[in-house]
């Protein structure tokens, strides 16, 4: 039950972050570039700038500036001031290359990654359950058609399929990632749900419903579905785990979330260039958060499965 607690905690983080209560200013640059974690003393690199500070009178080469007068007036109006603000030299979990707080990024990333994982899993569960129900219930050519699509999808390796569809949908941020994952992951659920429907549709309670005059739709979704839901629930949880990990891969390949937000995947995508420079804190934070979430969900799934599945006693 510890896993349940952790899962609830993570969901709480997700909701709070989405509401802006925590990690609101995650993109604010509060530290110097690659600020180290507070408790870890090390020297940071200070990279050079080539900027010259001298102000010189410029030759205009005889070309007048179309907006010269306006600019002159603005420059006269604005007097000196507004120097660079103070930046922290260390941050609780360290800072990334722009000096953003890794702690805040990880919290925001939790929101985004969990959202991506859960939404994609729901989408995939919806598709898989729908297809599986239709195929298992109606049988005949409907079943054949779905089985055909299923075999086509499963004969192409997952990663290749994901890349292919990613190439189709392009790079448009979170929505793209969710769609890609949702459209590629339904096969497992489909197979299980279909098997369940095949089993259940000849059961007495279904035949009874038929005798009473319930329509196909009613029988499929009102009568059988609740009895199948434990399978779907377990699969849903499993797919959340799978999709969280897939998002990391997609981000590394360049199909991840955009720059307006941050996910564990986008934090890890910077890993290769950071680790070699000795900047390990962002990777550590993202990996730890991801490990926590995935482990919690996995244990939770196991617990649910053990509780709901009558066979494994």
Partner 1 sequence: MNNYFLRRLWQAVPTLLGVLLFVFFLFNWVGGDPAYLLAGKIPNPEMIEAIRRSLGVDQPYWVQLWIFVKQVVTADFGASWSTNERVSEIFATRLGPSLTVLLPLLFISTVLSLAAAMLVAYVRGSLTDRAVMVGCTVAQSVSILVYILVLQYVLAYQLGWFPVQGWGSTLGENLGYAALPVLVGLVVSLAPDIRLYRSFLLEEIGQDYVRTARAKGLSEARVLWLHVLRNAAIPIATNVLIQLPGLLAGAFLIERFFSIPGIGREVILAVERSDFPIIKAVTVYVAMATLLVNLLSDVLYKALDPRVQLK
Partner 2 sequence: MRGIVLSVFLSLFCSASFGADKILRVTFQAAETGFDPVRVSDYYSGSVIEAIFDPLLTYDYRARPAKLVPNTAEALPQVSDGGRTYTLKVRSGIYFADDPAFKGRKRELTAADYAYSLGRFLDPKNRSPYAFLYEGIGKIETPERMTLRIRLKNPDLNFSHVLAFALSGAVAHEAIEAYGDESAAHPVGTGAFRLKSYTRSSKIVLEANPGYRERYFENRRIPSIRGVEISVMEETQSRWLAFQRGDTDIEYALSELAPKFLTPENTLRPEFARKGIRLERSVDPEIIYFYFNMQDKTVGGLSKQRIALRRAIAMAYKIDDQIRIIRKGQAIRAQYPIPPGVAGYDPEYRSPIPYDPRAANALLDQFGYRKGKDGYRRQPNGERLVIVFSSSPTERDRQFDELWKRSLDSIGVRLEIHKDRFAELIKLSHQCRLMLRGAAWIADYPDGDNFMQLLYGPNTGQSNSGCYRSPEYDRRYEKSRRLPPGPERDRLYHEMTRIMELDVAWILTDSRYRNVLLQPRVRDFAKHPVLHAEWLYIDLE
Q: Is 53 in the site for partner 2 (CB under 8 A)?
A: no
From residue 146 to residue 185, the character string flagging contacts with partner 1 as x (rule: CB under 8 A) and all else as - is --xx-xx-xxxxxxx--xxx-xx-----------------
Query: Which residues are paired to 37 by β-bridges?
Result: 91
Nearer residue to partner 2 within complex by CB, 2 or 278: 278
Q: Is 33 in the site for partner 2 (CB under 8 A)?
A: yes
Contacts (Cβ under 8 Å, ≥6 apart) of 228 = 129, 193, 196, 197, 200
Q: Is 206 left (phi over 0), alpha (psi -120 to 50) or beta?
A: alpha
Nearer residue to partner 1 within complex by CB, 91 or 290: 290
Among 35, 30, 41, 26, residue whose Cα is nearest residue 95: 35
Interface with partner 1 (CB under 8 A), residue from 198, 252, 258, 261: 252
Among 73, 142, 113, 55, residue whose Cα is nearest residue 247: 113
Terminal Cα distance for the chain, rounded = 18
Return the residues of window 108-167 that contact partner 2 according to CB under 8 A.
Answer: none
Angle between helices 225-253 and 186-200 (to 10 degrees): 170
- Calculate the alpha carbon distances from 62 to 58, 59, 65, 69, 72 in Å: 11, 8, 10, 16, 17
Q: Is 39 in the site for partner 2 (CB under 8 A)?
A: no
Nearer residue to partner 2 within complex by CB, 24 or 218: 24
* CA–CA gap between residue 275 and residue 281 (Å, rounded): 9
Cα angle 138, 144, 145 (rounded to 5 degrees) comes to: 95
Contacts (Cβ under 8 Å, ≥6 apart) of 133 = 193, 194, 197, 220, 221, 224, 225
Nearer residue to partner 2 within complex by CB, 42 or 313: 42
Q: What is the CA radius of gyration of the chain?
A: 27
Stretch that binds partner 1, among 5-13, 37-45, 128-136, 268-276 (CB under 8 A): 268-276
Nearer residue to partner 2 within complex by CB, 9 or 71: 71
139: partner contacted, choices partner 2, partner 1, none (Cβ within 5-8 A by kind): none
Among 141, 29, 113, residue whose Cα is nearest residue 288: 113
From residue 172 to residue 191, the character string flagging contacts with partner 2 as x (rule: CB under 8 A) and all else as - is x-------------------
CB of 152 to partner 1, least distance (A): 4
69: partner contacted, choices partner 2, partner 1, none (Cβ within 5-8 A by kind): none
Positions touching partner 2 (CB under 8 A) are: 29, 33, 45-51, 56, 58-63, 65-67, 70-71, 74-75, 77-78, 82, 97-98, 170-172, 252-255, 258-260, 266, 269-270, 272-273, 275-278
Positions touching partner 1 (CB under 8 A) are: 148-149, 151-152, 154-160, 163-165, 167-168, 241, 245, 248-249, 252-253, 268, 271-272, 275-276, 283, 287, 290-295, 298-299
């Amino acid at each position: 039950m510890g896993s349940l607690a952790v899962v609830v905690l993570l969901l709480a983080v997700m909701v709070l972050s989405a509401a802006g209560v925590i990690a609101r200013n995650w993109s604010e640059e509060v530290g110097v570039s690659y600020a180290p974690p507070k408790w870890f003393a090390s020297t940071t690199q200070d990279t050079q700038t080539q900027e010259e500070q001298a102000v010189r009178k410029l030759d205009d080469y005889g070309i007048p500036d179309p907006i010269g007068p306006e600019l002159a007036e603005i420059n006269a109006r604005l007097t000196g001031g507004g120097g660079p603000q103070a930046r922290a030299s260390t941050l609780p979990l360290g800072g990334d290359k722009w000096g953003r707080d890794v702690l805040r990024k990880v919290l925001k990333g939790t929101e985004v990654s969990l959202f991506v994982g859960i939404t994609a899993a729901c989408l995939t569960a919806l598709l898989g359950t729908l297809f599986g129900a239709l195929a298992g219930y109606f049988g005949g050519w409907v079943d054949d058609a779905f089985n055909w699509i299923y075999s086509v999808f499963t004969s192409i390796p997952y990663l290749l399929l994901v890349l292919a569809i990613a190439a189709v949908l392009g790079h448009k941020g979170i929505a793209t990632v969710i769609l890609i994952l949702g459209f590629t992951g339904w096969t497992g659920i489909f197979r299980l749900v279909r098997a369940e429907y095949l089993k259940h549709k000849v059961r007495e309670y279904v035949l009874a419903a038929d005798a009473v005059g319930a329509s196909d739709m009613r029988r499929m979704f009102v009568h059988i579905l609740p009895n199948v839901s434990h399978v779907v629930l377990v699969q849903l949880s499993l797919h959340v785990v799978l999709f969280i990990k897939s998002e990391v891969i997609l981000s590394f390949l360049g199909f991840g979330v955009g720059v307006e937000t941050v996910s564990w995947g986008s934090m890890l995508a910077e890993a290769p260039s950071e680790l070699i420079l000795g900047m390990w804190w962002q990777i550590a934070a993202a990996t730890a958060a991801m490990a926590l979430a995935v482990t919690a969900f996995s244990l939770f799934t196991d617990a649910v499965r053990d509780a709901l599945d009558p066979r494994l006693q």
